[in-house]
Structure 1
């Protein structure tokens, strides 16, 4: 290579899932259990794929849409938010994006400049600090507390705010712990943001998998919700459309208009076929989504019950419908060292805790998207028999 790569990019760690999946090449196991990536293992609803098949021959499906998305799709999304959240939201407060990851990029490049800082609750979704590092935006990590079960402390976060802080970033339900942040804590964090005239960014990628289908929070019921609130969502998990890259950013109409400058220079628009998939999903698939949520709840409940019985050297620290956050028993060993041994010796693929924030070497993340309920006893047995 006869050209140079940015030192900023060089300093960013490679994507953790790509790194971990490379370990598979060195394993002797042919019956791997994949607890690595949180991708639904079931296909989209047949009614949705049939609908998409019926529109692929329409020439309009292959064309650009408005940068923020088709008006009728955003209107349908607003109607769903009214049902789900009791939201007071309008189409001009929505930008459809290429996955939740692009929604996050749009939010931070619109909100911040190099040298600014965002408070990131640890453990955090690894793509978020990776993006901030590449943009020259500092991550101020709020510490993880086992005593609080991974629930953020508004008081701790408020003490971390500095003159360069532009936002507080929270993921709920948490990736990687699975913990659902209580609405009262979300409200308190929004009050902290208001006091300091900064934004609360809430990534709610897994919000349709909250046990019981409970409403995540009441922020959207306030007419002034967009004054200090930025919402990120992924319909990819909701409708099993991860490869379609179906994300969304919701904020004030003014903020969205500025974000569209970045949208136009980055991707122009979410693909039309993805928008049609989202529109069909929000209009027709609430019952289907509820069935998948119950299925994931059963997976989680069975895993938690079997994993937590006495005799397991690994400890379940926190968990939720899609994830478990586990402490490994090997003092002085990093999560990466233990995760590699799990692949090589037991055929179990997990992610090491340290990829989710500093000081998290004692932990592993387990994901339930790729494991059917019938495979859970074998997965737990491999943890229980793991050699010291």
Structure 2
């Protein structure tokens, strides 16, 4: 190749899931059924009622056309109505933008906030797409370190000490991807006040918020009339409604910020696909009970996975877990997480992600996405961990 690649892009490690899938060719026993604990995808399909509804829309010639960049007004109003029910939100359609997945919402937020050389404080373990995106945009990620005793939940005092004149945002994922840990509402309130006192926003990626057991409202920020002054939310309907391939995300912010973000969106994707928007509208208007049922099911799956994993004979240590994920310490101190994850693929037929893709110092860890597998596969999955660590 004779042309130059942007060094900021070339320096970024390839997508971790692509890397892990590339190890499948080295499997020692291809007859052993593969257990995928790698990519976080709901193991169940969309609601049957939604699928039937969407089928009936496919003959409409409008289904293949553009919508306004920010999304159809009736879809955004349906989302706002649901946010009022769930969050008690002070929100209107002008404060949300429907995006092509939560990943695009993240990019829009960072592009709207930062110039090259600016800083964003990110709690580690960090969802790997976030440091990848920041690096390619020339934005410095300032890591708040992972503290196992705190389950990786952000400490406002630690984050306060990291703020500099170049800080443009505090970014937290809750429930955490990769640990599953939920940042408590009082901590979110502290982080919001910290951001507000420094004239920056708190950016919450709440992709897995619908899987918090026992609490329909993970925080009260949306009840504040002034929330758009210092709060930005990244959200995914892909996990909520099992629509990951539809790429149905959302950015919630002030009307002014949404207006600026749409400049970038128009040059990226124009709009979220119309079919995805209509799926979100149906879900927001009809599937609250279905979502709650899945939350309970996933909590039961989590509890079974935790009980199996922490039973006798497993040298892998469960450090923290919740929602879709388990964050475990592997028992091979001389090996990196990448080496252990590859060993699991090649020797045990188990896909996972190495800890260092969530932070360079996190080589003792692995992320397991148990949300991918049915309850019936959990005992076999855990048995393979026990066997490989004997």
| TM-score between the two structures when normalised by the length of structure 2 | 0.98
Matches within 5 A, 1:1-388: 1-27=1-27, 28-30=29-31, 31-387=33-389
Question: SS where residue 75 of structure 2 aligns?
Answer: helix
Q: Does the Cα contact within 8 Å between 1:213 and 1:290 map onto a contact in 2?
A: no
Question: SS where residue 39 of structure 1 aligns?
Answer: coil
Deviations 1:113-140 (A, max 9, x none): 1010100100010000100000000100
> By how many angstroms is 1:369 displaced?
2.4
> By how many angstroms is 1:281 displaced?
0.5
In structure 2, distance between residues paired with 1:17 and 1:82: 36
| TM-score between the two structures when normalised by the length of structure 1 | 0.98
Q: Does the Cα contact within 8 Å between 1:37 and 1:369 map onto a contact in 2?
A: no
> By how many angstroms is 1:81 displaced?
0.3
In structure 1, distance between residues paired with 2:77 and 2:65: 20
Q: Where in structure 2 are there 5+ consecutive unaligned residues?
A: none
In structure 1, distance between residues paired with 2:345 and 2:360: 23
> By how many angstroms is 1:99 displaced?
0.1
In structure 2, distance between residues paired with 1:251 and 1:199: 10
> By how many angstroms is 1:53 displaced?
1.1
> By how many angstroms is 1:251 displaced?
0.2
In structure 2, distance between residues paired with 1:111 and 1:387: 45
In structure 2, distance between residues paired with 1:272 and 1:35: 31
Q: Does the Cα contact within 8 Å between 1:98 and 1:245 map onto a contact in 2?
A: yes
Q: Does the Cα contact within 8 Å between 1:99 and 1:248 map onto a contact in 2?
A: yes
In structure 1, distance between residues paired with 2:261 and 2:126: 24
> By how many angstroms is 1:50 displaced?
1.1
Deviations 1:225-245 (A, max 9, x none): 111000000000000100000
In structure 1, distance between residues paired with 2:94 and 2:256: 9
Q: Does the Cα contact within 8 Å between 1:36 and 1:350 map onto a contact in 2?
A: yes
How many residues in Structure 1 have an aligned counterpart in Structure 2? 388
Q: Where in structure 1 are there 5+ consecutive unaligned residues?
A: none
In structure 2, distance between residues paired with 1:158 and 1:128: 20
In structure 1, distance between residues paired with 2:120 and 2:7: 22
Question: SS where residue 30 of structure 2 aligns?
Answer: coil
Question: SS where residue 154 of structure 2 aligns?
Answer: coil
Question: SS where residue 247 of structure 1 aligns?
Answer: strand
Q: Does the Cα contact within 8 Å between 2:316 and 2:389 map onto a contact in 1?
A: no
92-101 or 38-47: bigger deviation: 38-47
Aligned-CA RMSD value: 0.9
> By how many angstroms is 1:6 displaced?
1.1
Q: Does the Cα contact within 8 Å between 1:314 and 1:329 map onto a contact in 2?
A: yes
Which aligned segments of 4 or more residues in structure 1 are displaced greater than 3 angstroms? none
128-137 or 282-291: bigger deviation: 282-291
> By how many angstroms is 1:387 displaced?
3.9
